[in-house]
């Protein structure tokens, strides 16, 4: 019985090579389906990991309190728009009475022009304390970061982002040099290493790219620049009075994060009449991101599965056409003693071989995903930088991550598709009347 079965398998394989173009097109349909499964899952996993990384950088044990401009209140006349809002220094003492708060970090941010010689940069001024570098995972390239002595002494010193240092001091050592921020001199004491950007989270937390950051001591900011910042453009003056842009609270235990966030919000409600603040809980965002990841991957999997089904329908269509074309051949084989099971085995062999070939090539194509996406990103950065700049950070910097189980899943599904969509044409071929098949022209 083994020899006849092997002969049936050989007949099935030989028929594939009789129509190479048709076979290649059939394999291509399965290839696209399997590669789509691996690609879509890899891209969704890469985006998900990037989002989770950005949220994890905020700290699972942190509660972030941000100043937020209220839309309904302003001070001034028709030509002047002035807003007073946000966290006040007097709020800090009340917030630190929350028993679960272990540490806190005060931050004040604003936009100012920085000058050195003929060079001018629209800088993002970050007034902070020494803890800021550790909290934001910043690394010093040369020199040092702001120290407690600089803060308490209200020193006119600054630390530059690497990108600003490269513009102001392309060939010279920036340490000890003096830059100006609105005519106030600041001595450069350090340069930070480049830092990957952090995406914004809704309207509660702005995106940070760290490229134009200039870090100065918090007390220096309050003394030299003050709480009020004025802007003028197109004949109109606008400004804001903000004492603190953000307070990051660190909680002793992850279990206390949500309760601490509730206590922070309740305290601020008592101290502020207007809704000029927001509370961000990275732990909750991280859990939401993980849930979204599963939903996203399921959605991508469904799309890829539909692609495979389309490929399976293509196999069925090809095999049904093959059965019609080979009706006389089937009749001759039946007349020579082939049983229905032999005919079924022959046609199933063809479909399974085509599916396996498509599945294996699809797996190989899927493994090329990270390299091809990286090449495409580089090409788009060079040819369409404006379009790339508008994309979210988690998308334009995504690195696809191959999901290990997607490889056997794609290959296994391809075999299953071949069996499911090849069974009906095989049964139809086997059930032909030998006499009628022999009469077929």
Query: What percent of the chain clears pLDDT 90, i.e. is strictly above it?
Result: 22
* Beta pairing partners, 140: 192
CA angle 161–140–178, rounded 5-degree value: 50
pLDDT at 79: 47
Contacts of 247 (CB under 8 A, 6+ apart): 64, 65, 87, 92, 95, 104, 105, 106, 107
Mean pLDDT of the 105-132 span:
91
Query: What percent of the chain clears pLDDT 70, i.e. is strictly above it?
Result: 74
Burial 7-29 (b: 16+ CB within 10 A, else e): ebbebbeebbeeeeeebeebbeb
Q: Are 163 and 212 in contact (CB under 8 A)?
A: yes
DSSP strands (E only) in 117-253: 119-128, 140-143, 157-161, 178-181, 184-192, 213-217, 228-233, 236-241, 246-251
**Residue 86 region by backbone torsions, left for phi larger than 0, else alpha for psi between -120 and 50, else beta:** left
Mean pLDDT of the 234-240 span:
69
CA gap 217, 113 in Å, rounded: 17
CA atoms within 13 A on the CB side of 138: 29
pLDDT at 302: 76
pLDDT at 204: 45
Q: What's the whole-number average pLDDT of the chain?
A: 78
Q: Are 4 and 373 in contact (CB under 8 A)?
A: no
- Least confident residue range of 46-60, 92-106, 118-132: 46-60
R_g of the chain, CA atoms, integer Å = 33
- In the sheet with 236-241, reading across from the earlier edge strand, the strands are 80-84, 236-241, 228-233
For residue 177, name the pLDDT band (cuts at 50, 70, 90): very high
pLDDT at 362: 84
For residue 202, name the pLDDT band (cuts at 50, 70, 90): very low
pLDDT at 84: 83
pLDDT at 2: 42
CA gap 376, 43 in Å, rounded: 13
CA gap 63, 217 in Å, rounded: 22
**Alpha-carbon separation of residue 429 from 26, 237, 262, 434, 437 (angstroms):** 19, 83, 70, 10, 10
Q: Are 37 and 410 in contact (CB under 8 A)?
A: yes
pLDDT at 295 over 90: no
Q: What is the pLDDT of residues 365-401, one digit of tens each?
A: 888 888 888 888 788 778 877 777 666 665 666 778 8
For residue 213, name the pLDDT band (cuts at 50, 70, 90): very high
**Alpha-carbon separation of residue 307 from 42, 302, 304, 367, 404 (angstroms):** 16, 9, 5, 18, 20
Q: Which two tokens stand for residue 11?
A: 């007949």
pLDDT at 77: 47
- Look-up of token digits 């020494």: 130
* Beta pairing partners, 126: 109, 215
Q: Which of 403, 313, 416 is nearest to 37 (CA)?
A: 403
Q: Which residue has the higher pLDDT, 47 or 158?
A: 158
pLDDT at 413: 76
Q: Are 244 and 86 in contact (CB under 8 A)?
A: yes
Mean pLDDT of the 44-50 span:
75
Q: Which residue has the higher pLDDT, 212 or 284?
A: 212
Q: What are phi and psi of 286, to 5 degrees?
A: -65, -45
Locate the domains of the chain by residue range: 2-55+290-439, 69-275
Cβ-in-10-Å burial (0-12, 13-18, 19+) of 265 comes to middle
pLDDT at 241: 85
pLDDT at 276 over 80: yes
For residue 203, name the pLDDT band (cuts at 50, 70, 90): very low
């Amino acid at each position: 019985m083994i020899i006849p079965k092997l002969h049936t398998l050989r007949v099935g394989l030989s028929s594939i090579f009789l129509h190479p173009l048709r076979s290649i097109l059939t394999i291509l349909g399965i290839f696209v389906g399997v590669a789509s499964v691996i690609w879509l899952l890899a891209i969704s996993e890469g985006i998900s990991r990037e989002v989770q990384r950005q949220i994890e950088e905020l700290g699972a044990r942190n509660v972030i309190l941000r100043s937020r401009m209220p839309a309904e209140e302003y001070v001034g006349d028709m030509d002047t728009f002035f807003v007073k809002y946000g966290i006040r220094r007097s709020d800090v003492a009340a917030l630190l009475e929350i028993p679960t708060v272990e540490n806190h970090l005060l931050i004040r941010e604003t936009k100012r022009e920085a000058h050195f010689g003929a060079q001018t940069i629209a800088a993002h001024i970050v007034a902070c304390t020494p803890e800021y570098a550790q909290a934001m995972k910043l690394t010093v390239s040369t020199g040092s970061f702001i120290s407690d002595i600089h803060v308490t002494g209200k020193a006119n010193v600054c630390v530059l982002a690497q990108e600003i240092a490269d513009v102001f001091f392309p060939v010279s050592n920036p340490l000890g040099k003096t830059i100006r921020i609105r005519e106030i001199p600041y001595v450069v004491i350090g340069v930070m290493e480049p830092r990957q950007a952090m995406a914004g989270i809704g309207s509660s937390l702005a995106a940070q790219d760290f490229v134009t950051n200039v870090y100065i001591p918090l007390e220096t900011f309050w003394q030299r620049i003050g709480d009020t910042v004025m802007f003028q453009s197109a004949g109109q003056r606008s400004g804001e009075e903000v004492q603190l842009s953000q307070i990051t609270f660190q909680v002793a235990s992850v279990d206390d994060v949500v309760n601490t966030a509730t206590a922070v919000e309740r305290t601020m409600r008592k101290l502020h009449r207007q809704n000029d603040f927001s509370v961000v809980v990275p732990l909750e965002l991280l859990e939401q991101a993980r849930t979204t990841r599963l939903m996203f991957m399921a959605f991508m999997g469904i799309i890829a599965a539909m692609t495979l089904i389309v490929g399976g329908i293509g196999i069925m269509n090809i095999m049904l056409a093959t059965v019609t074309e080979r009706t006389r051949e089937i009749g001759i084989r039946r007349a020579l003693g082939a049983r229905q099971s032999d005919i079924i085995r022959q046609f199933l062999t063809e479909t399974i071989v085509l599916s396996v070939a498509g599945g294996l090539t699809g797996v190989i194509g899927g493994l090329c995903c990270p390299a091809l996406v990286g090449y495409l990103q580089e090409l788009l950065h060079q040819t369409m930088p404006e379009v790339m700049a508008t994309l979210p950070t988690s998308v334009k910097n995504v690195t696809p991550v191959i999901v290990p189980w997607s490889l056997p899943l794609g290959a296994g599904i391809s075999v299953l598709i071949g069996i499911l969509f090849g069974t009906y044409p095989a049964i139809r071929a086997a059930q032909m009347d030998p006499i009628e098949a022999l009469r077929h022209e």
